[in-house]
Chains A and B, each alone.
Chain A
């Protein structure tokens, strides 16, 4: 008990001494340079115009400018087009090419590794597991941290039990000696006990601080080190994804001694041949269509016919596959196919610059990241609600009923989603999509998308006690 609480109690004393050194990382390896890795928002190549300056009274400069312009016209730099294949059995789209996987993940955070939490890092983890690479993957870090947490919680339970036993003993002794039990009315008494309560959070903080101090001390040859800024290790998990770059930095700076792996590290190249990457990138249907139709950097192949599916037939295909079981080819495409609604919202937020990823873990349709999940947590969670405002949907009773059934959501559901978002500190966005009346199968995707309209509302709990001033 005493050992556990003392560092926690000591923490406020340490805090005020702000370190003027850069706050050091904990015992973790340095974070890769995400700013550089993810510097492009899309897997598209962008080149600013590189025309030489034109000076009007110097004909040579004009000629050189025209020449470079012509070179650009004749041989424009090419854009790499990646390929993926569509699997009709699972209605999913897979990318297996290593280069494509890296490009799609690093530039715009598309897709998810099928054997990883999000970034495809299975190969990495597997190598580390076999001792071929040093360092830890993010999954391992998480696992370790969870184990630590569980340990601390057990410790807390133990200390609480001890406290109760001790109190029972004191009470028994008091009863024997005939003294009255101490007054419980005193508030000070109660607070004294609450202070002693074990805090897992504080203990975690203390642990981090300790390890960091130890690290700093060794780094600076045992010199006394000013206590680091307490806030840098404070609550909340930070976003961490492992990547190749992380490993490279780890090994080059060699902050972590690589005892067992250093010998085998030279065989890294051979190791690649020993086992191949079992992981592929799965991109959601909306992402795939955006990459094909919006950016034109992806070709989706049909697995059976091994031919690329053009955007004009990919859209109906994905729309049919947004039902389960998928509708067959003869079925009519509805304007409120789930794929249409979700794609409209996906496209809308992507076109504004947000990184849009699935929000299924938080019970929503999408999460909106600013720049990407490695940089910060998502601030907004989006749920999609269709809207049948167009006069077509109120023409007949049957259509009205249909629209009402499609729009119906219960208050319980809304509160449920809202409270979950508050718990994970996200703002809930309700995105209404206005569904146009059905159109004859038009091939013009742009016009079709332009018929849908979106309107976003932010929803949050209002607490009268807090806004009273």
Chain B
């Protein structure tokens, strides 16, 4: 039996290790890059295994050779020429004034034709007249002329990747008009792109860092309704009294009276007193469950009772700004599936303290209820508690370094541990081990 306990410990520890092992914490053996065939064959998708590293330098030539071989392998990988095929080149045009109809069409004409005008995000500022490639599946918005409009972070991400070539608009550069406008327009440098896009439409450097980091990892990231910090919070009732479970001293109505009578018969000289103690009363107790019930005195928050808040009814920066989709989630831009993760971005240099209960509470209440479901969760107490009832991810950015924290509403009060560990059954069958893991 004791062994079972140990196994249980080990089981959880293995699980925890898996959660906590960060691939990026491992050392890389760059020599393995030489064996990669991505340089020639793009179809192969297997990544190299990581190597092991020595703790300190030693005078062996072997170590020096390994080191130089690694270095050389890295240089080889970096020196591989990256080609931009002119056929796949995507050109975007910077629109500092925001979305506008193509030259030659003016808005009045559009409305005359019965169109709804430009139904585009007002922050969109790069127009791609001829969209090509896979990126536009999860990025940008198309207008009625089949042009794609990109948001600043999307444009900057593509420029940084080398997948997009942004041109200055001819209005600014004053270049020749006419048919060869595109030929003569001036390309925008990466520096200029940063200068133009960071700070535009609420895009802070921190948000961009989170966006680009997750995009590179393979996720799709889209702006959430809470993006705009300046939008005033609606004055919803902050003090949600009803979401707290107050321990019930006595039930209402007939049931309450009857249970009181019953309690009296069982314990006629009731000495229980919450005023000066002892809270459970002196004398004999029938069972420990009653003792625990009498001890319940502290009100606790029940997440399943809380109503969902409006995303704008939160306190920036503790507000969901990105909806994150796993690479496996199929995304249709017109009908988005529910996001896999919700992310709030915090700058440690501006918000120096961890969130207060009000900030964190409103943030979590603005996400939908996601209670632990499934057979495994039903069985595993710890898993259930760890999953929580609502969850959100905080991206804490400290000068460009992002650490993600998953916050979940754990309702410890909903798990009455004492009910699952009745001592009488413990001495008999293996009982408690199973109960414990519940």
Question: A: which residues have CB within 8 A of B?
Answer: 23, 31, 34-36, 39-42, 44-49, 72-73, 76-79, 164, 167-168, 171, 181, 184-185, 187, 190, 194, 197, 231-232, 234-236, 238-239, 292-297, 310-312, 344, 347-354, 370-371, 375-377, 379-380, 385, 387-389, 391, 404, 407-411, 413-415, 418, 422, 425, 427, 429, 432, 434, 443-447, 449-450, 452-469
Contact = CB atoms under 8 A, between A and B. Distances in A.
B218 A468 contact: yes
**When A and B form their complex, which 3 residue pairs have the shortest distance between CB atoms, in order from nearest?**
A296-B278, A446-B274, A353-B418
A47 B284 contact: yes
A292 B278 contact: yes
Contacts, number: 330
Contacts of B274: 444-447, 449
A459 B409 contact: no
B24 to A, nearest CB: 7
Interface stretch (B15-23, B80-88, B182-190, B198-206): B15-23
Interface in B391-414: 393, 396, 398, 403-413
Given A413-B354, A418-B405, A458-B388, 8 more contacts: A236-B9, A351-B296, A352-B412, A352-B415, A353-B420, A411-B346, A446-B273, A452-B299
B10 A464 contact: no
A410 to B, nearest CB: 6
A458 B280 contact: no
B10 A236 contact: yes
Contacts of B386: 427, 458, 460
19 contacts: A42-B291, A47-B284, A187-B35, A190-B52, A295-B279, A375-B5, A407-B356, A408-B352, A410-B352, A411-B346, A456-B300, A457-B360, A458-B386, A458-B410, A460-B406, A463-B22, A466-B21, A468-B326, A469-B326
B405 A352 contact: no
B61 interface: yes
A456 B412 contact: yes
A340 B386 CA distance: 27
B102 interface: no
A117 B268 CA distance: 43
Contact of B285 (A46, A351, A446): A46
Interface stretch (B62-70, B145-153, B155-163): B62-70
B52 A454 contact: no
Contacts of A293: 276-279
Contacts of B404: 461-464
A264 to B, nearest CB: 30
Contact of A443 (B275, B278, B348, B418): B275
B426 interface: yes
Interface string B230-264: 00000000110000101100000000000000000
Contacts of A350: 295
Contacts of A168: 59-60
A394 to B, nearest CB: 10
B276 A310 contact: yes
Interface of B: 1-3, 5-10, 12-13, 16-24, 29, 31-32, 34-35, 51-52, 58-62, 65-66, 69, 213-214, 217-219, 238-239, 244, 246-247, 266, 268-269, 271, 273-288, 291-292, 295-301, 326-328, 340-341, 346, 348, 352-354, 356-358, 360-361, 364, 381-382, 385-386, 388, 393, 396, 398, 403-413, 415-421, 423, 426-427, 432, 436
Given A187-B32, A232-B3, A293-B278, A453 B300 contact: yes
A464 B405 CA distance: 11
A427 B386 CA distance: 8
Determine chain B's interface SS by DSSP, over half rule.
mixed
A173 to B, nearest CB: 12
Nearest to A347: B298
A449 B297 contact: yes
Contacts of B340: 467
Given A354-B417, A469-B326, A39 B423 contact: yes
A311 B277 contact: yes
A379 B299 contact: no
A370 B2 contact: no
Nearest to A403: B356
B82 to A, nearest CB: 24
Contacts of A463: 19-20, 22-23, 404
B286 A47 contact: yes
B10 A231 contact: yes
B190 to A, nearest CB: 25
A461 B416 CA distance: 27
Nearest to A422: B20
A237 to B, nearest CB: 9
A456 B282 CA distance: 32
Contacts of B60: 164, 167-168, 171
Contacts of A370: 381, 417, 421, 436
Contacts of A458: 385-386, 388, 406-410
Given A453-B300, A462-B393, A45 B285 contact: yes
B427 A35 contact: yes
B354 A414 contact: yes
Contacts of A454: 298-301
Given A39-B423, A171-B60, A48 B287 contact: yes
Given A295-B280, A455-B357, A460 B427 contact: no
Given A44-B280, A46-B285, A455-B301, A376 B8 contact: yes
Contacts of B17: 425
Given A353-B418, A371-B421, A456 B244 contact: no
B301 A453 contact: yes
B29 A190 contact: yes
A349 B412 contact: yes
Nearest to A32: B2
B292 to A, nearest CB: 6
A452 B301 CA distance: 11
Contacts of A296: 271, 277-282
B295 A464 contact: no
A411 B426 contact: no
A402 B344 CA distance: 27
Nearest to A425: B16
